[in-house]
Amino acid sequence: MTGAIYAEGLVKTFGDVRALDGVDLDVPEGTVLGLLGPNGAGKTTAVRVLTTLLRPDSGKAVVAGVDVLRHPNEVRRLIGLSGQFAAVDEYLTGRENLQMVGQLYQMSGRDAKVRAGELLDQFNLADAADRPAKTYSGGMRRRLDLAAALVVRPPVMFMDEPTTGLDPRNRLGLWDVIQDLVAGGTTLLLTTQYLEEADRLAHDICVIDHGKVIARGTSDQLKARTGGERVEVVVHERERLTEATEVLRGFGKGETKVEDHMRQITVPVTGGAKLLAEVIRELDSRGIEIDDIGLRRPTLDDVFISLTGHVAELKEDAV
């Protein structure tokens, strides 16, 4: 039995660019897959293929048990798509937008009207329901776009960079909405450039770069691949740097890294907060003054850099 979203060997080329270069995906029902990668990595192309918008050159895709290439219209009944650009008609009101989408999902006019009302309440848009979407803030538009994707309560959802361009408050708000949705049993594929977002929302993460999946696993598994926790210390006086490095080397489980100009020492450790307390006591007993000390755990940024050799922000030409 394959998952609610399943893809095997997807290839799509645009001219010389292999936007998808043999992508396999398997998202079990009721879970969230985060598709993580820089601009131009192939995330959007993957979503476009899975949502019937683009035919791949080769490969196989099954969504909610239906073959995407053979029965695209069946798939369209079962999915909701929320895009990178809030795809709502800005001259229509929020209510008109949702009613139109409902009717185009083949609901009756009356059902579409009722459903639009429910969604406007649920997404906190009731007050603005009869204003053209043009007057909405960025966050409101994004919520309306998401509501439009949920008109038929689809079992499978695709969200292409749902929070790109939103301010932190709206991003948090949208995360809550997405988490509620998943708690209700929806299977979700989410693309994002924000490592924090994948970390927070996704059960599994696929890291994609140049059209290929270069790593997959849970957030913790990916972080474990990058290495464990480490202690970072910034010493107040440069003269004490060597001495402090000796102390840290005693606690460390690996190579100690010293950045002279920043008076910073980093050393991999095991033992967590308890060990950190010991380090502080030891430095203190020697009278070494410190500006900063902390226990750092690897972020998905670190994961990304260690996997791809570059940071997770790149070309502007999203494919």
Residues in the site for another protein, rule: CB under 8 A? 1, 3-4, 29-30, 48, 51-55, 64-66, 73-74, 76-79, 81, 83-92, 96, 100-108, 111, 115, 132, 148, 151-156, 185-187
Residue 17 or 53 with smaller CB distance to another protein: 53
Residue 237 Cβ vs another protein, minimum distance, rounded to whole Å: 57
Residue 8 or 89 with smaller CB distance to another protein: 89
Residue 183 Cβ vs another protein, minimum distance, rounded to whole Å: 13
Residue 48 or 263 with smaller CB distance to another protein: 48
Taking alpha carbons only, the member of 298, 288, 239 closest to residue 266 is: 298
DSSP letters for 14-67:
ETTEEEEEEEEEEE-TT-EEEEE--TTSSHHHHHHHHTTSS--SEEEEEETTEE
Which ranges constitute the DSSP H helices of 156-240?
168-183, 195-201, 219-226
Residue 82 or 266 with smaller CB distance to another protein: 82
CA distances from 103 to 61, 107, 112, 154, 277 (A): 27, 5, 6, 15, 62
Residue 76 Cβ vs another protein, minimum distance, rounded to whole Å: 4
Residue 103 Cβ vs another protein, minimum distance, rounded to whole Å: 5
Residue 139 or 298 with smaller CB distance to another protein: 139
Residue 93 or 245 with smaller CB distance to another protein: 93
Q: Find the angle CA(110)-CA(111)-CA(114) to the nearest 5 degrees.
A: 90
Which uninterrupted H or E stretch holds 308? helix 300-308
Per the CB < 8 A criterion, the answer to whether 122 and 147 are in contact is yes
In the numeric block, the tokens 């406007």 are attached to: 120
Residue 186 or 266 with smaller CB distance to another protein: 186
Residue 312 Cβ vs another protein, minimum distance, rounded to whole Å: 24
Give one word for 136, left, alpha or beta, with left for phi > 0 and alpha for psi -120 to 50.
Answer: beta
Residue 143 Cβ vs another protein, minimum distance, rounded to whole Å: 15
Residue 98 Cβ vs another protein, minimum distance, rounded to whole Å: 12
Per the CB < 8 A criterion, the answer to whether 130 and 93 are in contact is yes
Q: What's the CA gap between 253 and 221, in Å, rounded? A: 20
Q: What's the CA gap between 39 and 41, in Å, rounded? A: 6
